[in-house]
């Protein structure tokens, strides 16, 4: 191999290595931005359907964030679902509405579940339901990475 050929091969190899390192740095930077920071809030919501009825999701929304694990279209009787919302800033919330049907598919009642994960307000205020249903809710872990539990009875 001549000196010119060897020099060209060395320059090409250096260029490929530098390009690979730059690509890796860019990918790493993108991954770092996708991860939540200590200032981003998250809410993990567990819904326990302790009834003999299926819960059907009627709609809802994530406030100041986005669904990561969005609500399923239904939660079967005596089962649970885990819902996750990631926030963009220092707070996030979610509202989810369901209706329950009895064994004959006749309407049994409605529930609206509200989870708020904000520095000055981490609670389940705004949760509502119709009789004969009953909902017990509590904050399991506080802000900024809160977890909520809703027991539907």
Q: pLDDT tens digits, residue range 39-51?
A: 589 999 999 999 9
For residue 31, what pLDDT is reported?
43
The confidence score (pLDDT) of residue 46 equals 98
pLDDT score recorded for residue 99: 95
pLDDT value of residue 11: 46
Which of the four pLDDT bands, split at 50, 70 and 90, describes residue 15? very low
Residue with the larger pLDDT of the pair 112 and 101: 112
Question: How far apart are alpha carbons 131 and 42 in whole angstroms?
Answer: 31
Q: What is the mean pLDDT of residues 112-138?
A: 96
Going by the DSSP 8-state scheme, the letter that residue 53 receives in this structure is: S
The span from the CA of 129 to the CA of 109, in Å, is 7
Q: H or E segment at 22?
A: helix 3-34
Mean of pLDDT values over 94-110:
83
Give 26-78 pLDDT, tens digit per residue.
444 444 444 555 558 999 999 999 999 999 999 999 999 999 999 999 999 99
Is the pLDDT score of 24 beyond 50? no
CA gyration radius for the chain?
25
Answer CATH for 42-152 from 3.30.70.260, 1.10.340.30, 2.60.270.50, 1.10.10.10: 2.60.270.50
Q: Is the dihedral of CA 26, 28, 29, 34 positive or negative?
A: positive
Given pLDDT bands bounded at 50, 70 and 90, which one contains residue 105?
Answer: low
């Amino acid at each position: 191999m001549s000196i010119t050929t060897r020099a060209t091969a060395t320059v090409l190899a250096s260029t490929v290595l530098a390009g690979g390192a730059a690509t890796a740095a860019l990918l790493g930077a993108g991954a770092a931005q996708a991860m939540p920071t200590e200032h981003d809030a998250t809410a993990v919501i567990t819904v326990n359907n302790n009834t003999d009825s299926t819960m059907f999701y009627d709609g809802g929304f994530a406030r100041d964030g986005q669904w990561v694990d969005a609500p399923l279209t239904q939660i079967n009787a005596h089962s649970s679902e885990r819902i996750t919302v990631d926030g963009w800033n220092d707070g996030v919330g979610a509202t989810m509405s369901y209706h329950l049907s009895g064994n004959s598919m006749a309407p049994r009642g409605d529930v609206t579940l509200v989870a708020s994960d904000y520095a000055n307000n981490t609670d389940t205020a705004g949760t509502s339901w119709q009789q004969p249903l009953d909902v017990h809710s509590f904050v399991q872990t506080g802000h900024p990475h809160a977890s909520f539990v809703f027991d539907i009875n």
